[in-house]
Amino acid sequence: MAIYNIVVLVSWASSQWLLTATPSNGLTPFVVVSILFSMALVPVALSRADGPVSANEVRLNIRRIFAISPAGIIGIGVLGAIVASTWGVLPIWAAGVGFDTGSISLLFSTSLVMAILIQWPLGYLSDRMPRSTVVIASFSLASLLTLLATMMPPNDLIFAILTVGLSAGLVLPCYSILVAMANDNAEQDEVIALSSSLVLVYGVGAILGPLITGTVYSYLGESALFVSISLLLGFGVVSIQTLKLMEPSVLILEKSHFVAVPATSQGILPLHENGDAVTTQSSCKDSGNITY
C-alpha cells in the first residue's frame, strides 16, 4: 500500500505538466483525461488475479464511528477541506496573481514531491510517539507557513513554493497517520468499515472546504484566502488536541509499522494484513474452523 501511495503521488506530480503540454482551451484537456482513464482500465481488464474473499460485512453507525476516534474523524474532515481548497482554489489564486501555466505546474508538482519526501520522517515519528502529536505539529507548521503566504511579494514563485508548496507537502501525508490513529482504537473486524467511513468524512470535508475558502477569496481577497486556510488548520489542531483526551491511550509497543494510505478508493484494503485477517477469519468461520 505504501508503494501504491508513492505511485499515486508521483503520477499526480507528473500530471501537472500536462497543463503545459496541451492547449488549456477547448476540449483537449478533457480528451486527454478520458484517454488516461481508458488506459488505466486496460491492466485491470487484462488482469487474471482473483478478487479477495468476501468478508462478513460490518456496518458502523455514526455514533460508533465517532466513539472509535473522534480526533481522527474530525482530523480527516479538516484535512479533506484543506486538500480540496489547496487543489481547487489555490490554482485560481495563482492564475489571478499572474503566475503562468508553467509556474503553476511547478508549484503544485513541487508540493507533491515534498509530500513524498516528508511522509517518511512523519511516518517514522508516528510509529514512535503519539500520532496525534505528529499531526498537530504538521498542521501547526503548515498553518504558520500559510500565514506567511499573506506577505508574498508579487509573482515570487520561490516564496510560493517555500510557503504554499511546503504547507501542502506537510498536510498531504497526514491522511495516512489519521487513518492509523483511528484504527488504533478499532476492533479488527471494524478496520475496513471504518476506513470506508473515513473516506466519506474526507469527502464531506472536501465539499465544504472549497465552498468556505472560495467564498472568502471571492469577497475578501487573496490575503483572506490564506488566513481562512490557516484558520482551518488551526481548528484541526485544537479539535485533535481536545478530542484526543476522550480516547484511550495506545501503547507505542502495540502500534504496527506506518503504511501510507491514499485518500482514494479503499478497494485494495483487503490486501492489507488486517484485511487478510478479517477475510481469513470469515472463511474459517464458514468452514467451522477458526484459526488465530
In the predicted structure, residue 265 carries a pLDDT above the cut 60: no
Tell me the pLDDT tens digit for each residue of 105-131: 888 888 888 888 888 888 888 888 888
Over the stretch 53-64, which tens digit does the pLDDT of each residue have? Answer: 555 666 767 777
Instruction: Write down the pLDDT at residue 282.
Output: 42
Give the type of residue at 26. Answer: G
Whole-angstrom distance, CA of residue 68 vs CA of residue 194: 9
Between 38 and 282, whose confidence is greater?
Answer: 38
Q: Quick one: cell of 131?
A: 500520532
pLDDT of residue 283 exceeding 60, the answer is no
Helix (H/G/I), strand (E/B), else coil: 199:
helix
Average pLDDT, the chain: 79
The string of pLDDT tens digits covering residues 173-227 is: 888 888 888 888 777 777 777 878 888 899 999 999 989 988 888 888 878 888 9
Cell of 230: 490557516
User: Residues 153, 159: contact at Cβ < 8 Å?
Assistant: yes
Give me the percent of the chain exceeding a pLDDT of 70. 77
Backbone Cα Rg of the chain: 20
The confidence score (pLDDT) of residue 143 equals 93
Q: In the numeric block, which cell numbers belong to residue 45? A: 481488464
Residue the block writes with cell 476540449? 27
Map grid coordinates 466513539 to a residue: 67
Measured between alpha carbons, how far is 134 from 57 in angstroms, rounded to an integer? 32
Q: Could you give the CA distance from residue 40 to residue 34 in angstroms, rounded to a whole number?
A: 10
Helix, coil or strand: residue 109: helix
- The pLDDT value recorded for residue 71 is 87
CB atoms within 10 A of CB 24: 9
**Mean pLDDT calculated for residue range 1-10:** 71
Rounded Cα gap, residues 140 and 142, in angstroms? 5
Global pTM reads 0.74
Residue with the bigger pLDDT between 137 and 261: it is 137
CA distance 9 to 264: 12
- In angstroms, the Cα distances linking 76 to 35, 145, 241, 273 are 32, 20, 14, 23
From CA 132, how far away is CA 194, in angstroms rounded?
Answer: 18
Q: Which residues contact 95 (CB under 8 A, 6 or more apart)?
A: 104
**What is the predicted pLDDT for the residue at 115?**
87
**Other CB atoms within 10 Å distance of the CB of residue 26:** 9
Residue 89 has pLDDT above 50, yes or no: yes
Top-confidence residue, 280 or 98: 98
Helix axes 2-15, 101-126, angle to 10 degrees: 160
| 53 phi-psi bin (left φ>0, alpha ψ -120 to 50, beta other) | beta
